[in-house]
Amino acid sequence: MVNIMVVEDEKPISNLIALSLKKAGYHSECAYDGLEAIDMLEKNYPDLILLDIMLPGADGFEILEYVKPLEIPVIFLTAKGDLNDRVNGLRYGAEDYIVKPFEIMELLARIEVVLRRYHKLDRIINILGLEIDTDAMCVKKEGKEINLTKKEYDTLLLFARNPGNVLFREIIYERVWGGDYIAGSRTVDLHVQRVRKKVGWEDFLITVPKMGYRLEVPR
């Protein structure tokens, strides 16, 4: 599972980001000041760092200098929206720069772009008898291509990248349709049912009552 470090001294923002990452199928760990982040990096290398600039202990630019030799991609999260600050952030080596306040869906989309750039997300996914080619957007079972609509494919890919994790209906809708989920809508449920049937995952794509769905992969 992709591991993302969140370095943000405002705990409500950090907790919101961590919860959103969990719902999207990522593992996350949080640091609330620069020195704590450096201590954590000495013990474990994340796949990506979401990094505030204005931090106690050591600021974001100092942490970025420490991270450069480790080749860990960094996305700056900051309230400093001045053009010069953004340019400096990118010149220092950050992969992206997001100004607060931001929409969670935008953050998740930018995270995915950076992970792809660093090949943290596999191009070919083999899972439960399926071969998913994420570049060609092609799904095969026993060598035969399965005909899926774009939304069905996106739904399938979301589960394939997050096996074992409960995906809330709200998150599925936001990641696949790109909007706010409307309570009581059957759109997600109908697409999941069609995906189950088309790929033969009736025994693996499990409904989690009052929450969403989980893809169970036998060990």
Q: Where in the chain is the domain with CATH 3.40.50.2300?
A: 3-117
Q: How far apart are CA 197 and CA 56, in angstroms?
A: 52
Per-residue pLDDT band at 80 (split at 50, 70, 90): low
Using 50, 70 and 90 to split pLDDT, how confident is the model at 162? confident
Which alpha helices (H) appear in the chain, and where do they start and end? Answer: 11-23, 34-43, 60-67, 83-92, 104-117, 150-160, 169-177, 187-199
Distances (CA, A) of 157 to 11, 70, 127: 32, 29, 10
Beta-carbon contacts of 170 under 8 Å, excluding residues fewer than 6 positions away, are 23, 181, 212
Cα 206 to Cα 32: distance, rounded to the nearest angstrom: 36
Residue that the structure tokens 């607060």 belong to:
100
**For residue range 99-149, what is the model confidence (pLDDT) as tens digits?**
888 888 889 889 988 998 887 776 788 899 999 998 789 999 999 999 999
Percent of the chain with pLDDT over 70: 96
Q: CATH 1.10.10.10 in the chain: give the residue spans.
A: 124-215
Which CA distances in Å does 162 have to 75, 78, 145, 186, 195?
A: 22, 28, 22, 22, 15
Superfamily (CATH) of domain 3-117? Response regulator (3.40.50.2300)
| Segment 24-72, tens digit of pLDDT | 778 899 999 999 999 998 888 899 999 998 899 999 989 998 888 888 9
Query: What backbone phi and psi angles, to 5 degrees, belong to 134?
Result: -75, -20
Q: How many CA atoms lie within 13 A of 30 on its CB side?
A: 16
The more confidently predicted of residues 149 and 88 is 149
- Distance CA(35)–CA(141), nearest Å, equals 49
The CATH code that applies to domain 124-215 is 1.10.10.10
Q: Are strands 130-133 and 124-127 parallel, antiparallel or unpaired?
A: antiparallel
- The token pair at 24 is 């999207």
Band the pLDDT of 82: cuts 50, 70, 90: low
